Amino acid sequence: MAVSSYQGPASIGLSDFTALRTRLVAAFGILGLVISGLGLAVVLLTGLNTRSVDGGAVLAFLVFVTASGLALWLIRHDQLEPATLVLIATYLIAFFFDPTNLLAGTLVLLLAATQASSLVLLMTALVVFGGFGLRIAQSVALTGGFTDAIFIYTVPMAALVILVVVTRVFVNSVTRAFSESARASAQLDTGAGIQRIVAGTGNVNDVLMQSVALIQERFGYDRVQVFLLNARDGQATLAASTHAPNTDLRLPVSAVSTIGQVALRGTLAVNPLTAARYRPEDDALRLKSGTQIALPLKDGQEVVAVLDLQSARTNAFSPTDQRALQIIADLLATGLRNVRLIEAQSAAAEENRRQYERAEEALREVERLNRELTRASWQGYTAERMTGITLQQETLLSDDRWTDALARASSEGKSVTRQDGEQQIVAVPVMLRGEVIGAIEVEPGAGSEQEALGMMQAVASRLAISLENARLFEEAQEMTAQEQRISEIAARYQEVGSVDELLRITLDELSDALGAERASIRLGAGASELSVTGEQKGRGS
């Protein structure tokens, strides 16, 4: 008996139905074993009483016991169909030897109606009703008309026909119910499996490959494939398949193939697998014969992919199957959209990380340049000025000498303490933008070393900022004074009208501003187009 078009091996519903069938066949086997055992016991006891044992009856019952035992052994080893056929054959043999055996005929018809295929049921019914019909024909031939004996056979025959029909209808209804339950279970299980795949996988290709494998496992179709659509070139590219190793195969989005139809129209399509629907070069994408269903995977109203399922059986996809598969396709489409969103978010996060790293690198470069500028600025500043003060016996004196503690604090960039006899000396660096621009040395009196060190570090950090502000203010003043002096020189230029006077004013002002003892200007093209020489007094440029 065909249980269902559903072929998935992991269905709870069909497992339960198979268990029910198994228990029913086992009950028939046990019943046959009990009946044949009791019959054998009756024959043997009767033979002992009469001292004459019916050897044929004993053999028949032994065969029946053996066949029933064999059926139970087959059931124990998960051979349900062979066990069913053994029991049907055994009951038919018993009925064949005694066509009036109503119990044997009823049992074999019930067994065939609940377990066997339609062909086996038909053959069983022909044997049973043929036996009854033979008995009726013999009765008519002997009596020459209708007798009570004929009535004895026709009534059981009519009752058996009704029983067989009702039983078969009931079994078919139960089969369909279990099939629907199995399909719903597979649908829910597949949907949950796809959600787990999406949650555990952040890559579109991995999600598609695992999903087609899951769908094939749950529904048992011969081939499951997913085609991704490319709107730019109008092609559907094979992205995942349970069969085709080449995932770079393409189909045009057109009515030439079932895939192209679904991609173009956005509705599912069911077609036989005929060569007319494919180009010759697309044979790797399909089975040679059978049925194909293609379902759209949509992101909103846009078809982004096509789910292709193929079965070697004809008319493999019922309307119920189509509805279930469309739900699976919708779940897969949702999962595909989520994975793409995750990929986009991951790409954005990666880009943000790179931007952050570049920003950090740029910040480090700015800090490096600031340190270099700070170092160069203070080196130039200290080279031109006396930049040291010493407090000695309550008197402040200009002093640019570096003690050992000051030198260590400056070179090491950290606080230094040392003992000079009974006197403790603490030195801390003055740091600006990570560069040492000086150092402070103190011989603390009362108080602990830690207190002195903490206060000196706090003062040094504030001093560094104030020193930088003061230096910049001095530079600004110098620049202002220089600009003012240049403006005064330019103003004198406006008062004369000869070249010679302009040259005299220039040398006079420059020598006065720079303290030069000798200066000269040359016009024309001598050794070079313009020559300016000078001897400076003090410092100049």
Quote the pLDDT of residue 359. Answer: 92
Please enumerate in sequence order all residues whose Cβ is within 8 A of that of 504, keeping only pairs 6 or more positions apart, or say none: none
Quote the pLDDT of residue 419. Answer: 76
Amino acid at 523: L
Cα Dmax for the chain: 169
pLDDT confidence band for 354 (50 / 70 / 90): very high
Residue 165: C-alpha distances to residues 99, 161, 169, 337 (Å): 21, 6, 6, 51
First-to-last alpha carbon distance for the chain, in angstroms, is 112
Share of the chain above pLDDT 70, in %: 84
Q: What is the pLDDT of residues 101-146, one digit of tens each?
A: 677 777 777 878 877 777 887 887 888 777 777 777 776 677 666 5
CATH homologous superfamily, domain 389-485 = GAF domain (3.30.450.40)
Quote the pLDDT of residue 352. Answer: 92
Residue 239: name the closest of 215, 207, 271, 261 by CA: 207
Identify whether the C-beta of residue 271 lies closer than 8 Å to the C-beta of residue 258: yes
Helix (H) or strand (E) holding 453: helix 449-493
**3-class SS of residue 247:** coil
Measured distance CA(415)–CA(432) in Å, rounded: 15
Quote the pLDDT of residue 204. Answer: 83
Measured distance CA(72)–CA(79) in Å, rounded: 9
Residue 5 or 148, more confident: 148
Residue 503 or 155, more confident: 503
Quote the pLDDT of residue 446. Answer: 66
Q: What is the pLDDT of residues 156-214, one digit of tens each?
A: 778 778 888 888 888 788 777 777 777 777 777 777 777 787 777 767 888 888 888 88
Q: What is the pLDDT of residues 424-435, one digit of tens each?
A: 888 889 888 888
Q: What is the pLDDT of residues 37-83, one digit of tens each?
A: 787 787 777 766 666 656 666 777 787 788 888 888 888 888 878 88
Amino acid at 42: V
Measured distance CA(53)–CA(45) in Å, rounded: 9
Span 302-319, average pLDDT: 88
Residue 4 or 13, more confident: 13
Lowest mean pLDDT among 85-89, 179-183, 483-487, 509-513: 179-183
Q: How long, in residues, is the chain?
A: 541
Measured distance CA(131)–CA(96) in Å, rounded: 7
pLDDT confidence band for 361 (50 / 70 / 90): very high
- Domain 218-346 shares a fold with domain 389-485: yes
The residue extents of the domains of the chain are 12-184, 218-346, 389-485, 496-535
Quote the pLDDT of residue 539. Answer: 38
Identify whether the C-beta of residue 425 lies closer than 8 Å to the C-beta of residue 444: no
Measured distance CA(173)–CA(186) in Å, rounded: 20
- Buried b / exposed e over 416-439, threshold 16 CB at 10 Å, is beeeeeeeebbbbbbbbbebbbbb
Q: Which long-range contacts (CB under 8 A, 24 or more apart) does 310-314 make?
A: 310/221, 310/222, 310/223, 310/224, 310/225, 310/273, 310/286, 311/221, 311/222, 311/287, 312/222, 312/287, 313/5, 314/272, 314/290
Question: For residue 321, is pLDDT > 80?
Answer: yes
Question: For residue 533, is pLDDT > 70?
Answer: no
Quote the pLDDT of residue 402. Answer: 85
Residue 200 or 279, more confident: 200
Question: For residue 11, is pLDDT > 50?
Answer: no
Measured distance CA(286)–CA(188) in Å, rounded: 27
Q: What is the pLDDT of residues 283-305, one digit of tens each?
A: 667 777 888 899 999 888 888 89
Lowest mean pLDDT among 6-10, 128-132, 232-236, 254-258: 6-10
Identify whether the C-beta of residue 197 lies closer than 8 Å to the C-beta of residue 342: no
Q: Tell me which CATH code domain 218-346 carries.
A: 3.30.450.40
